[in-house]
Structure 1
Amino acid sequence: MPKAAKALFDPKRFLAKVGDGKTILNFDKNRAVFSQGDAADTVFYIQKGRIKVLVVSEQGKEAVVGILEAGQFFGEGCLNGHPLRISTTVAMEECLLTSITKAAMLATLQREPKFSELFMTYLLGRNSRIEEDLIDQLFNSSEKRLARLLLLLANFGKDGISQPIAASVSQETLAEMIGTTRSRVSFFMNKFRKLGFITYNGKIEVHNSLLNAVLYDKPEIKGDEGSD
């Protein structure tokens, strides 16, 4: 391929179009993209919407382990030789996804440096998030974990202003993600609202004061597991 053509390659435009090994799919709210145990032979890219990632134990207990948003990949385990899905993914709202076959994904990663850079940036960011989540679970109270999760869901830090959480996230889901009970989440949410950290009118809106409380370890948010 000529160098001029190489320079024009746009990963986002590539992901937004149907092509060889690529399909554009719409998923309604609450529809499963794939289920734990399904054959793993495609990678997905989120153009629009949010995806909830769940795992189910052998005893049938279900837990939410992540929420993915536009600009993120999922299902990439197939590239590492995983023949079956290890989680279930469900649309939290109307989603627009790009489905890429394993063969097309590997070929594009090998052929297009800009696409490889985009995918590598995603992987590094996801690994950092996993490490942060582990530290959070080990050392922080459930109240602090909830505060951090709300900030992440609201994409805080992108422009420093209050932002609504786009998708409807139940207190049960929040409780599963931080490893506590729904009643504790309800208690903390009411506390955050009274302190002016959040507002709630159909959607949760997170304010800068919550970020300051977490960053500067203010006593309003307890830092020990005794608060549980």
Structure 2
Amino acid sequence: MAIKAKPPFDAKAFLAKVGEGRSIGKYHKDQVVFTQGDPADSVFYIQKGKVKVTVISEQGKEAVVAMLGTSDFVGEGCLAGQTRRIATVAALAECVIVRLEKAAIIRVLHDEPAFSELFIAHLLTRTIRVEEDLIDQLFNSSEKRLARLLLLLANFGKEGKPEPVIAKISQETLAEMIGTTRSRVSFFMNKFRKLGFIEYNGGIEVHSSLLNVILHDQPQIKSGPDTDQEPR
């Protein structure tokens, strides 16, 4: 009697279904997924939507340190010995998020090479992104940092099609992400719109031509005494 071969493990299907140690939740805009200081006992997988990751200092200053989207994991620090969350994660728009209990994700990482490959690829991508962010902060102007952030939010350069219209996001949040002031963000957003790189239509529509800001130096649009130079 022939023995039926075990079907190959489908990591995406595994993450799309409720099961042992897995639950799926819907989050509305600004709803908190987990809070800084909470017990770190699970990993989350973003099926749909975008979230922001923020950290609050002992002095009460808040900083946005990352924005994550579809197919990203968050909260994986619990697998490296973190017992408490070191950041707060909240939805930027309507989200569908899978919660994997620590024991459940450790089990599937151990048993299923296909899932391990998916998770390792995520970790490597995140590491590269952190390195790029650091280089961006050290060497690029605020104009280029803003252009890069908008392109990342629109998924340019990621697998699959870009999402040219990104959810409405405040200029204060954009300023926190790139380490500048809201007024500088406002100035550059107006500049990008005048040059046809972006449009406002409920959300922010990002055109691929915005890549020109990163790849080439663009002529400045004069606006009174304001210049592209700012103290770092």
- Tell me whether the two structures share a fold, i.e. TM-score over 0.5: yes
Deviations 1:123-174 (A, max 9, x none): 0000000000000000011111001101111111357878111x22110110
Partners of 1:175 and 1:14 lie apart in 2 by 37
Return the offset for 1:226: 5.5
Task: Indicate the residue corresponding to 1:179 in structure 2.
Answer: 179
The aligned runs of 1:109-188 (5 Å cut-off) are 109-158=109-158, 163-165=164-166, 167-188=167-188
Aligned to 1:14: 14
Deviation at 1:219, TM superposition (A): 3.0
Distance in 2 (CA, whole Å) between partners of 1:47 and 1:207 is: 25
Preserved contact between residue 161 and residue 207 of structure 1 (Cα < 8 Å):
no
SS in 2 for 1:82: coil
Q: Which runs of 4+ in 1 moved over 6 A?
A: 159-162
What is the rounded CA distance, in whole Å, between the counterparts of 1:126 and 1:92 in structure 2? 19
> Number of residue pairs matched?
222
Query: In structure 2, what residue type is equivalent to 1:37?
Result: G
User: Which has a greater percent of helix?
Assistant: 1
TM-score after normalising by structure 1: 0.92
In the alignment, the residues of structure 2 paired with residue 162 and residue 195 of structure 1 have an alpha-carbon distance, to the nearest angstrom, of: 20
- In the alignment, which residue of structure 2 is the partner of 1:61? 61
Q: Distance in 2 between matches of 1:227 and 1:164?
A: 29
Q: Is the 8 A contact 1:55 1:87 kept in 2?
A: yes
Aligned to 1:209: 209
Asked whether the equivalents of residues 154 and 162 of structure 2 are also in contact (C-alpha less than 8 Å), the reply is no
Give the partner amino acid of 2:205. Answer: E
Deviation string for 1:171-219 (max 9, x for gaps)? 011000000011110000001111111111111111122113312x223
Tell me the TM-score normalized by structure 2: 0.90
Could you list the per-position Cα deviations for residues 75-97 of structure 1 after superposition, in whole angstroms to 9, with x for gaps in the alignment?
00000000000000001111111
2:155–2:163 Cα contact (<8 Å) kept: no
Residue number in structure 1 paired with 2:218 = 219
**Percent identical:** 63
After superposition, the CA RMSD in angstroms is 2.0
Q: Quick check: 2:46–2:95 contact (8 Å CA) kept in 1?
A: yes
Alignment of 1:21-32 (within 5 A): 21-32=21-32
CA distance in 1, matches of 2:98, 2:81: 21
Question: Alignment partner of 2:214: what SS?
Answer: helix
State the distance in 2 between where 1:197 and 1:174 align: 17
Q: Which runs of 5+ in 1 are unaligned?
A: none
Runs of 5+ consecutive residues of structure 2 not aligned to the other structure: 222-226
Structure 2 distance, partners of 1:13, 1:75, is 21
Query: Structure 1 residues 3 and 181 mapped into 2: Cα distance closer, same or farther (>3 Å)?
Result: farther
